[in-house]
């Protein structure tokens, strides 16, 4: 993949200026880089360790945009895109696992019952994604906050930068969205 930093920066700029088509071009580029990085991180980690999504996104940003173009606004937008991409990557992964199970083709025969736990977690992740979709219809900003925090690994400050709202608002949005999603998943 040959991605020049000016290309990515240009797309980010366009998107910021309201060009939705730019986002369409941006997504696959970010997706590719993040996908590789994510795999690397996920595989390096042992169970119980924390995958640092922000570190990962940072690295992707450096790669795609370059150090010399550090412009916080670009960076914020890049993070927003990345969170969306991470969501796709992670949910797709969980979805694959979940469907693999149903096919019976790839049965888990672990001795310690890991299978059940991980199956459940896969299913939860997929269900969360659906719920988030539903939330986006009634509460788009709340849904975005969850995407940034949970899938993008951001803290409130970073999310606030991306959404250009105050940190307090991010925290409030987060609570409401969390309650809403939890209720949705419990009901479903």
Query: Which chain residues interact with other proteins by CB under 8 A?
Result: 1-4, 33, 35-51, 53, 56, 62-63, 67, 86-87, 90-91, 93-94, 97, 108-111, 114-115, 117-118, 121-122, 124-125, 128, 138-139, 146, 149-151, 153, 172, 175-176, 178-183, 186
Give the residue with the Cβ less far from other proteins, 15 or 150.
150
Torsion of CA 59, 61, 63, 68, to 10 degrees: -110
Token pair 């608002």 in the structure block, residue: 169
Handedness of CA 71, 170, 95, 22 (dihedral sign): negative
Q: Which two tokens stand for residue 77?
A: 């937008």
Closest approach of other proteins to the CB of residue 5, in Å: 9
Give the residue with the Cβ less far from other proteins, 19 or 175.
175
- Cβ-proximal residues to 167 (8 Å cutoff; 6+ apart), any chain: 156, 157, 160
Give the residue with the Cβ less far from other proteins, 47 or 102.
47
Closest approach of other proteins to the CB of residue 89, in Å: 8
Closest approach of other proteins to the CB of residue 160, in Å: 16
- Report DSSP letters for 25-42, one per residue: HHHHHHHHHHHHHHHHHH
Are 27 and 84 contacting, i.e. CB atoms less than 8 angstroms apart?
Answer: yes
Closest approach of other proteins to the CB of residue 118, in Å: 4
- Report DSSP letters for 64-108, one per residue: HT-GGG--HHHHHHHHHHHHHHHHHHHHHHHHHHHHHHHHTTT--
Give the residue with the Cβ less far from other proteins, 22 or 60.
60
Give the residue with the Cβ less far from other proteins, 38 or 76.
38
Closest approach of other proteins to the CB of residue 147, in Å: 9
């Amino acid at each position: 993949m040959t991605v020049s930093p000016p290309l990515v920066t240009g797309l980010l700029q366009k998107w910021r200026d309201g060009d939705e088509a730019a986002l369409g071009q941006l997504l696959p580029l970010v997706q590719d880089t993040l996908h590789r990085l994510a795999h690397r991180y996920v595989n390096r980690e042992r169970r119980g360790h924390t995958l640092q999504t922000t570190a990962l996104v940072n690295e992707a940003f450096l790669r795609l945009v370059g150090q010399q173009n550090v412009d916080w606004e670009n960076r914020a937008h890049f993070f927003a895109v990345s969170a969306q991409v991470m969501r796709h990557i992670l949910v797709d992964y969980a979805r694959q696992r979940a469907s693999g199970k149903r096919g019976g083709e790839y049965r888990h025969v672990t001795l310690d019952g890991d299978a059940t736990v991980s199956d459940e977690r896969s299913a939860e992740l997929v269900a969360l994604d659906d719920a988030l979709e539903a939330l986006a219809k009634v509460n788009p900003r709340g849904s975005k906050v969850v995407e940034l925090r949970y899938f993008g690994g951001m803290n409130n400050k970073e999310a606030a930068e991306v959404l250009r709202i105050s940190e307090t608002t991010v925290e409030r949005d987060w609570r409401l969205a969390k309650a809403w999603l939890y209720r949705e998943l419990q009901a479903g």
